[in-house]
Amino acid sequence: MATPPRVPWMTATAPPRRTLADALPRQGTAPATSWLVREAAPVVDAPPPAPCPACAARAAGDAELRARLARAEEDGRAEGLRETAALRARLAAVVAALERAQAAQAGAAAEAIVEVALAVCAEVAPAAAGLDKSGVAALMAEVVGVAGGQPITLKAHPDDAAELGADLPEAVRLEADPALAPGEIRAHGARLVIDASWAVRLAALHEPLVALLRARREGTP
């Protein structure tokens, strides 16, 4: 049996063979369009702020306030220093016055102490000299030594003259004087006058004793 002729529309045609690379979808770049592209915003310089009269006035007020506070602080510090200096001066004057008053009181106290002590000695010394003749004997020897061999008249209490007259050199004339207390001596010569009474000797001790008491008081902390 003969094969019927193929009609063109019945002819099977095979699709063209493609490789794997051709079969995979390809990612292409989409065409750029003007309405899809984001354009950068133009840089525009901001205009300077408009002047603010209220802000300027506030700034000027703040500056003036700070200046006033600084001046007030400086004036207060200076005034405080002046007041401190004045207070120190007043305190120094008060301290000096107190020291003077204390010194005066100390001086008066020293005077009173010495006067009382010497008054007691004036009462006790004659009685003590009547019991112990060593003091008046030493005093007579001192007076004779001061005379230096010149003739002198020596007056003493009768008891002293009776006990010590034998030990005197020939140039010394000894006289008993009841007006003198035991331990007292008076001597006079051509160029010599000596008053060794208790009143004179104790008075000579007054100033040294007062100075001694003041020095010891000032040295006491």
Q: Name the phi and psi angles at 210, rounded to 5.
A: -65, -45
Whose structure tokens read 């094969």?
3
For the whole model, what pTM was predicted? 0.50
Residues with Cβ within 8 Å of residue 167, at least 6 apart in sequence:
137, 140
* Buried/exposed 87-97: b ≥16 CB within 10 Å, e otherwise: eeeeeeeeeee
Residues with Cβ within 8 Å of residue 115, at least 6 apart in sequence:
206
User: What is the spatial distance between Cα 83 and Cα 76, in angstroms, rounded to a whole number?
Assistant: 10
Q: What is the pLDDT of residue 221?
A: 46
Q: What is the pLDDT of residue 17?
A: 61
Fold classification of 111-219 is hypothetical protein PF0899 fold (3.30.2320)
Residues linked to residue 221 through DSSP beta bridges, in sequence order: none
Length of the chain: 221
Domain coordinates in residue numbering, the chain: 111-219
Q: What is the pLDDT of residue 46?
A: 63
Question: Mean pLDDT of successive 10-residue segments in the chain (221 residues)?
Answer: 54 56 57 55 65 77 86 86 86 81 75 89 88 87 87 91 83 91 91 90 90 76 46
Whose structure tokens read 């049996």?
1
Q: What is the pLDDT of residue 180?
A: 92
Give the amino acid at 152: I
